[in-house]
Amino acid sequence: MSRITQNKNRLAQTERLKMFEDRKEAGQKLAVALASYKNDNPIVLAIPRGGVEVGFYVAVFLHAPLSIIMVRKLPFPHNPEAGFGAIAEDGAVFLLKDTSIIMPPDTIKKVIKEQNDELKRRIKVLRNDEPLPEIKDRAVILVDDGIAMGSTMHAAVILCRNKGAKKIVVAAPVAAPSTAAEFMRVADDVVILEKPVNFHAVAQVYRNWYDVPDEEVIEIIKKFQTNQEEIYGRN
């Protein structure tokens, strides 16, 4: 096979993975897939920053309240794109297997502290320093724009368990098959629209992908709050 043919095949495969135009389309489709929860009085907790727009459309469709749950990846000091776990705003920590073997304890503690400081900043900036809404005995739908390694979603699930959620639903437009199967063991339900085999990064499945800034998250939450009365007024 020639190099040109190989490149064409690679490009074709990449294009096939572009399953959503943008987060709006993904959120609208995910909302429909979650329709069975409409009468369960759920609360939608979106993982920032990319998950907030997706969560917005889910919450609107389900007539559910929307808030932001703060979780952060624990990045390797010399390779911040990769991570060895995640931390949630309540202090819950999820570590990948063998982390304690490959990472010195002092380094783990240092990274946790750094990311905990960022969590505090995000709570102040993105949630106006308000506490997470009460979720005890409630159905919680955790939403992200995609699940790659799954560390941040794991931390979010742990937080919800700690706070006594009645039911935890993990929801995202895309995840690897193995990741989706993994969450079936820790959550009460998992709703994933697409499970491509050759999935490595969330950006793969969006034609219009960009890193969401804080300002956009704030605007989405303001938009939801502004339209809250209209959203809850529909039956």
Mean pLDDT computed over every residue of the chain: 90
Has residue 97 been placed in a domain? no
Q: Is residue 78 part of a domain?
A: no
CA separation for the pair 175, 196 (Å, rounded): 7
Q: Is the pLDDT reported for residue 195 higher than 50?
A: yes
**In this predicted structure, what is the pLDDT of residue 6?**
40
Containing structural domain, residue 164: 18-69+135-233
- pLDDT, tens digit, 9 for 90 and up, residues 109-146: 999 999 999 999 999 999 999 999 999 999 999 999 99
The verdict on residue 209 lying in a domain is yes
Say how many domains are in the chain: 1
Tell me the backbone φ, ψ of residue 3, rounded to 5 degrees.
Answer: -65, -35
Q: Is the pLDDT of residue 18 over 90?
A: no
Compute the distance between CA of residue 22 and CA of residue 188 in angstroms, rounded to an integer.
Answer: 28
Alpha-carbon distance of 175 to 145, in angstroms, equals 9
Tell me whether residue 52 is in a domain.
yes
Q: Name beta bridge partners: 190.
A: 170
Q: How many other β-carbons are positioned within 10 Å of the β-carbon of residue 9? A: 11
Quickly tell me which residue has 């193995």 as its tokens. 178
Quote the tokens at residue 220. 């989405």
Whether 2 shows a pLDDT value over 80: the answer reads: no
Pairing outcome for strands 167-174 and 66-68: unpaired
Q: Return the pLDDT at 78.
A: 87
Evaluate if residue 46 carries a pLDDT over 70: yes
Q: What is the pLDDT of residues 81-99, one digit of tens each?
A: 889 999 999 999 999 988 8
Q: Could you give the C-alpha distances from 101 to 73, 98, 219, in angstroms and in order?
A: 19, 5, 42
Cα distance between residue 13 and residue 177, in whole Å:
17
Q: How many CA atoms lie within 13 A of 54 on its CB side?
A: 33
Rounded-to-integer distance, Cα 164 and Cα 135, Å: 7
Task: Examine residue 48 and state whether it is found in any structural domain, yes or no.
Answer: yes
Asked whether residue 4 carries a pLDDT value surpassing 50, the answer given is no
Q: What is the pLDDT of residue 10?
A: 42
Does residue 163 or residue 79 have the better pLDDT?
163
pLDDT above 60 (res 178): yes
Residue 128 counted as domain residue: no
Statement: residue 7 has pLDDT above 50: no
Residue 213 lies in a domain: yes
Residue 16's pLDDT band (cuts 50, 70, 90): low
- Cα-based torsion angle of the residue sequence 76, 68, 147, 200 in order, rounded to the nearest 10 degrees: -50
Mean pLDDT of the 208-230 span: 90
Q: Give the domain CATH number at 225.
A: 3.40.50.2020
Torsion, Cα of 35, 191, 170, 178 (10° steps):
180
219 lies in some domain: yes
At 210, which helix (H) or strand (E)? none
CA angle 175, 177, 182 (to 5 degrees): 90
Q: What's the pLDDT score for residue 101?
A: 81
d(CA 30, CA 115): 29
SS3 of the chain: helix, strand, coil, percent, to 5: 45, 20, 35
* Distance from C-alpha of 118 to C-alpha of 44, rounded to nearest angstrom: 22
Condensed to tens digits (0 to 9), the pLDDT of residues 144-160 reads 999 998 999 999 999 99
Q: What is the DSSP letter of 199?
A: -
| pLDDT at 229 (0 to 100) | 60
pLDDT mean over 61-88: 94
Lowest model confidence (mean pLDDT) among 71-80, 94-103, 193-202: 94-103
